[in-house]
Structure 1
Amino acid sequence: MSDTKVYLLDGGSLVLDGYHVFWNRGPGGEVRFPVYSILIEHAEGRFLIDTGYDYDHVMKVLPFEKPIQEKHQTIPGALALLGLEPKDIDVVVNSHFHFDHCGGNKYFPHAKKICHRTEMPQACNPEPFEHLGYSD
């Protein structure tokens, strides 16, 4: 790989009631949050930034959220569209450990993982309003 390439991977979306989005003070109505990952192909390897959410986890643990995701929007499916498999990823970088950013980490047991060092303590002891974000 001589040229660096960057790909935006569509991971589907999450739909929530607007009332809950604003700490039970919102106007109501549905709010859609798109979920993306970024793949960087570089001379030093393939880097995946965030891995999206795990559909089954959201359905089991977060029933008030409506995941909208087709097979090609799962992280393995999105990589397959580029002719890649999870084993082709060298490094996974998580911006943080909310479920919609690290739900696909399970597909990359071989890859090096990188995240800010203060994120693990935050994930283990989140603020009360953040505990569902760290549910994965």
Structure 2
Amino acid sequence: MTPPQLASSAILERDGRYLLVRRANPPSADMYAFPGGRAEAGETPPDTAVREFHEETGIRPRNPQLFETYDLPPREADGSGARHFFLSVFRVEADSDLIAVAGDDAAGIGWYTAAEILNLPIPDSVRQCVEKLEALRR
């Protein structure tokens, strides 16, 4: 059995809204998720989160803090080439005047409230993170 591929994503919050991208490619194509992707050789999970966030949003985040991890086995919906991932999710900071622009494999980008996110097509990991974030805000 092949070990899971490492991946990281990053959560950026501004004024009660979270930055999400609409995925253009599998896994989770056409779903909304926190910016992120697969690790490159030699990268640490925080390095992956920062690099992928920048590639997908044009914003260079800083101070990644581990928030959650997920063991994500292949999903049937992603077809026969689906892979097993170990996802590290980080909270990050960025200057508030920076504008997010969809790049790389992002089909779209936007800022959403927790209530809006829970009504979008999102992976279970995003739903769980948003619920945890909102519980921490209370």
Superposition TM-score tier, normalisation by shorter sequence: under 0.3
Q: Tell which has more relative contact order, 1 or 2 (C-alpha 8 A, sep 6+).
A: 2
Q: TM-score, normalised by structure 1?
A: 0.28
Structure 2-normalised TM-score?
0.27
Q: Which of these two proteins has the greater Rg computed from alpha carbons?
A: 1
Higher helix share: 1
More strand per residue: 2
